Amino acid sequence: MNATPLGLRRGWTEQLNLWSDRKELLNALIGTVGTYVVLVLFIGGNNVPGTSVSMAAFMTPGFLAFAVFSTGLTVLPTLIAADREEGTLMRARTLPRGIRVYLTGRAVTTLLTIALNAALVLLVAVPLAGVAAPATPARWFTLVWVLVLGALAVVPIGAMIGSLVSGPKTAAAMLALPAMLLMLISGVMFPLESLPGVVRGIAQVFPLYWQGLGLRAVFLPDSVLAAELGHSRPLGRAAAVLGAWAVGGMVLAPWLLRRVRGR
């Protein structure tokens, strides 16, 4: 079988194996979705000061971005580090096209986890927290491509991090701080306008900023465009940056993983 369909099937089996473990499933969901539900139900009803936008609407794109970001850059590396420790990655190296199949599989599990997170956030947001669903088909389309491209942009980076750290515990410990920092500077928690220019520049190199921007374009009205850098949301540029990360990562990650020793 070709590497891609085999990898897709591998990812599906892997995900079923994971979901059949209830503890793992809860772990995967409680962090992001749980925090979102608590915040949205307690403070979601208030408006963001000086605007007509509810806190819930403001938090929704932020949490979606965070779900993608944390799944790709902390959950995935931890899984890969565990696979390395257990020898699953080494097994892949003993098989023809094994690394490609393995990475495709991990990409599938990550995308499925992100999809589940996003679906749950939306299921809470729209009926319970009163967040307006994307108003037009074009916005739905934007939602989908931003989530997918955003995920594809972080999956290879996550895979590379996972292949470099020494073990699953190290991965979790090492990634928490940089992930939090990037969250803070990427404008998904509060507007970038308030940060110094250098920090804004750094933020715009990383995919998280562009993903947040794309998601705000889906959920926030143009009336709060003033809070964006340059008072606009350039979706074309967002697609280009996310795409560049995705393609660059997909070239680099298999190359790197083939070279990493680990049993």
Q: Based on CB atoms, which residue is closest to another protein, 6 or 165?
A: 6
**Residue 9 CB contacts under 8 Å (≥ 6 apart), including other chains:** none
Q: Based on CB atoms, which residue is closest to another protein, 9 or 139?
A: 9
> Does 9 help bind another protein (rule: CB under 8 A)?
yes
Stretch that binds another protein, among 64-72, 85-93, 158-166, 197-205 (CB under 8 A): 85-93
CA distance linking residue 105 with residue 74, whole number of Å: 17
Q: Based on CB atoms, which residue is closest to another protein, 17 or 35?
A: 17
Report the site for another protein in 33-72 (rule: CB under 8 A).
none
Joined tokens for residue 172: 């979790």
> Does 228 help bind another protein (rule: CB under 8 A)?
no
Amino acid at 101: V
Chosen residue from 26, 41, 95, 173 binding another protein by CB under 8 A: 95
Stretch that binds another protein, among 1-9, 34-42, 59-67, 148-156 (CB under 8 A): 1-9
CA distance linking residue 68 with residue 55, whole number of Å: 20
The conformational region for residue 131 under phi > 0 = left, psi -120 to 50 = alpha, else beta, is beta
CB of 20 to another protein, least distance (A): 8
Chosen residue from 90, 179, 184, 252 binding another protein by CB under 8 A: 90
Report the site for another protein in 154-213 (rule: CB under 8 A).
none
Q: Based on CB atoms, which residue is closest to another protein, 90 or 256?
A: 90
CB of 24 to another protein, least distance (A): 9
The 3 state secondary structure assigned to 170-196 is HHHHHHHHHHHHHHHHCCCCCCHHHCC
> Does 10 help bind another protein (rule: CB under 8 A)?
yes
Instruction: Enumerate the β-bridge partners of residue 47.
Output: 54
| 3-state secondary structure (DSSP) of residue 47 | strand
Phi, psi of 47 (to 5 degrees): -90, 150
> What burial class does residue 147 get, using C-beta atoms within 10 Å of its C-beta: 0-12 exposed, 13-18 middle, 19+ buried?
buried
Binding stretches for another protein (CB under 8 A): 1, 6, 9-10, 13-14, 17-18, 21, 83, 86-88, 90-91, 93-98, 101, 261, 263
